[in-house]
Structure 1
Amino acid sequence: MRVWRQLTDFITRHGAAALITVHEVKGSAPRERDARMVVRPDGAFHGTIGGGQLEFLMLDIAREMLSQGRGPARIIDQALGPDLGQCCGGRVKILIETFDKRDLDDIAPLVEAEAKGGLFDIECRMQEGRVWRELASEADVAPGSKWRETHGEDRTPVLLFGAGHVGRALVLALAPLPFAVRWLDDREDAFPSHVPANTSAIRMRSPEAEIAEARPDSVVLVMTHDHPLDLAITAAALRRGFPYVGLIGSATKRARFEKRFRELGLPQERIASLVCPIGVSGITDKEPAVIAASVAVQLLQVRERRQLDRNLSPLAVSGGT
């Protein structure tokens, strides 16, 4: 969710809005630090801090604060087990703020930063009861009255080659998930008239150029209408060494393609990394929607492993803020 755009929309349409943020987490909690929800004066909201009694209570507090007009922020220190009966057992601090049209100019740079995509940090400080924010510099935040928040959307890029039945089902399966899909097909009128917001449908001119220009952390799925085209795209993707290259097809198709890959001189370790058939094991139904759901789970597993590897890298361990 693009928090600052949503907040701006609520303020513009309804005159005011509240922002609820998970400010600190100790122990087990329904959501992680920096989880957020944006609340209208009538109680409608976008986002979640985990549901359950915690979310209901914070929504009530936010609505009460909005009824009193734009005012000071509140930090609520909340135990989950004894206070709310939630079995998580941890403790959270929740930051609740109210905004109105006076804040739109201050919010505008944050809306612009969100629109660029990716994650970004905001440096925060409490001043006169309200939180003041600015885009963070490279310098570390001083302890005490200042802290950093992370905003934006961490979407994993997906190159999806092919707009057939499974391609269409997969685009819909990935629509609510943290992926940015570049959907490619060389056929005229291959795409539906409407695609999800996280998807760009593109008439493909050069699959080699698409592979060469893709981000190195992209995941690649190949399911075109043409086997020789599948072969060429898959070979190029394997050479590039993406974290996931998936090819729709059977074990027989894989064996035939592996033979051709060896003839093309691809290293055996790259050939072995190919995912074919695609999807999680144990699901044999070949309905497009079922295949798409299975592949979506597999991509989430790949994304989770990549994030874990990044968080455990020496740079991540030594360079945290």
Structure 2
Amino acid sequence: MKDILGDLVRRLEGGGAVALARVVEVSGAAPREPGAAMVVTADGRVIGSLSGGCVEAAVIETAREVLETGVCVGERFGIDDGIAPGLTCGGEIEIVTEYVGAKRLPLLRQLRALVEAGEPVALVTTLSGVSDWALLQPGEPGPWPQIDGDIAALVRSGRSAVAGADRCEPDQSALPRVFVQAFAAPPRMILAGANAFVRALSRTGSQLGYRVTVVDAREVFATPAQFPHADEVVVDWPHRYLRAEAEAERIDGRTVVCVLTHDPKFDVPMLAASLAVVPLAFVGALGSRRTHLDRVARLREQGVTDAQLRRLRSPLGLDLNARTPEETAISIAAQIIAETSGGSGRALSDTDGPIHR
């Protein structure tokens, strides 16, 4: 939903209402994760996607119904049998479509502001009748005390999922079924260096949802104009910046560090500092095999241990025979995705089993 949030707000500001359809549960192989969203306007315009085209036509028909009745509708789609709409990938998804009118604007504007600021937040929605909404941040109680614990756990983890159920507890108090759409603070990508490779990777990292920081001690090169896709450009020695961020607890186990300076006086201190920080999701350094061997020798002289060196990914990137900065950025990003998500980096045609783990 994050990718259509701005469009959703603008549509409501323009007047009228829309139908908002979201994937709330997934089982087996499915094209999208919980939280994927699609908006259908009163004049039939469609924004976003739920399944890559498998079930959108059926959901658009449901959206028209929802716009007339104002009541949310839940649907499950399984394997495509050639008769009813379904998924060709063999999984099953549940989609809930609800009416969204102008009264939701204040909450949606607040949600957009928090997401743009990188604040963790969740939109909690009841999944039957005329839906209720609540906007919650970590530590805030929700309006459903019976399932507050389940909701709070999802908000903290940044995971979108269903909580509760449409049933009654033994004391007959209502226990609603809700969808918790979590918007976690974005993970960080810290890029040491100020060159064309950093510029290309800053753009790719931003497209992948990272909050990108470019850091270099050379003021003439490290300028926002040179790196328009970075969230921030810092003029400082990279290792000094990283240590300060670690001490301030502004990096965590999702943080990615890539050193692309090609200069021992910058990259050796930065790598030594990065490998000393636990946890980091990924530490890599660009360079040739000869550069790597020289760098490892220098790191050993700095007291970096064998265990720490095993965390270093260098030469950085997958073997794509990349030459240009843009190709190299794809190569690096592919390795980061594979290693942080448990992928093998092999061609899918050479592997067996489920495509999505």
Give the TM interval when normalised to the shorter protein.
Answer: 0.7 to 0.9
Which of 273, 286, 300 is equivalent to 2:323? 286
Contact 1:17 1:39 in 2 (8 A): yes
- Residue 23 of structure 1 is matched in structure 2 by 24
- Residue 199 of structure 2 is matched in structure 1 by 168
TM normalised by structure 2 equals 0.74
- Residue 310 of structure 2 is matched in structure 1 by 272
- Residue 111 of structure 2 is matched in structure 1 by 110
- Residue 48 of structure 1 is matched in structure 2 by 49
- Residue 75 of structure 1 is matched in structure 2 by 74
Q: Which stretch has the larger CA shift, 50-59 or 160-169? A: 50-59
- Residue 178 of structure 1 is matched in structure 2 by 209
Count of matched residue positions in the alignment of Structure 1 and Structure 2? 301
Cα distance in 1, alignment partners of residues 114 and 107 from structure 2 = 12
Q: Which stretch has the larger CA shift, 210-219 or 139-148? A: 139-148
1:149 partner amino acid: V
- Residue 316 of structure 1 is matched in structure 2 by none
Cα distance in 2, alignment partners of residues 114 and 174 from structure 1 = 17
Cα distance in 2, alignment partners of residues 210 and 47 from structure 1 = 39
Cα distance in 1, alignment partners of residues 185 and 341 from structure 2 = 12
The 3-state SS of whatever aligns with 2:95 is strand
The 3-state SS of whatever aligns with 1:117 is coil
For residues 54-203 of structure 1, the aligned pairs below 5 Å read 54-63=55-64, 65-66=66-67, 68=68, 71-82=70-81, 83-84=84-85, 86-117=87-118, 119-126=120-127, 129-136=129-136, 137=141, 138-140=148-150, 142-144=164-166, 145-153=176-184, 155-186=186-217, 187-191=219-223, 193=225, 199-203=230-234
Structure 1 portions without partners, runs of 5+: 307-321
Are residues 275 and 25 of structure 1, via their aligned partners in 2, closer, same or farther at CA, if it must alter by over 3 Å? closer
Query: Which fold has the larger relative contact order, with Cα–Cα distance below 8 Å and residues 6 or more apart in sequence?
Result: 1
Partner deviation per Cα, 1:170-223 (whole Å, 9 max, x = no partner): 1222232132211223332544637566x3131322423421214132110111
Partner deviation per Cα, 1:217-266 (whole Å, 9 max, x = no partner): 21101112633111111111112242321111111111111111111111
- 1:126, distance to aligned residue in structure 2 (A): 5.0
- Residue 309 of structure 1 is matched in structure 2 by none
Indicate yes or no: 2:265 matched with 1:228. yes
Percent identical: 27
- Residue 12 of structure 2 is matched in structure 1 by 11
Are residues 211 and 43 of structure 1, via their aligned partners in 2, closer, same or farther at CA, if it must alter by over 3 Å? farther
1:258 partner amino acid: V
TM normalised by structure 1 equals 0.82
For residues 279-318 of structure 1, the aligned pairs below 5 Å read 279-280=317-318, 282-305=319-342
The 3-state SS of whatever aligns with 1:75 is strand
2:20 partner amino acid: L
- 1:2, distance to aligned residue in structure 2 (A): 5.2
Cα distance in 2, alignment partners of residues 63 and 226 from structure 1 = 60
Are residues 302 and 210 of structure 1, via their aligned partners in 2, closer, same or farther at CA, if it must alter by over 3 Å? farther
Structure 2 portions without partners, runs of 5+: 142-147, 151-162, 167-175, 344-357
- Residue 256 of structure 1 is matched in structure 2 by 294
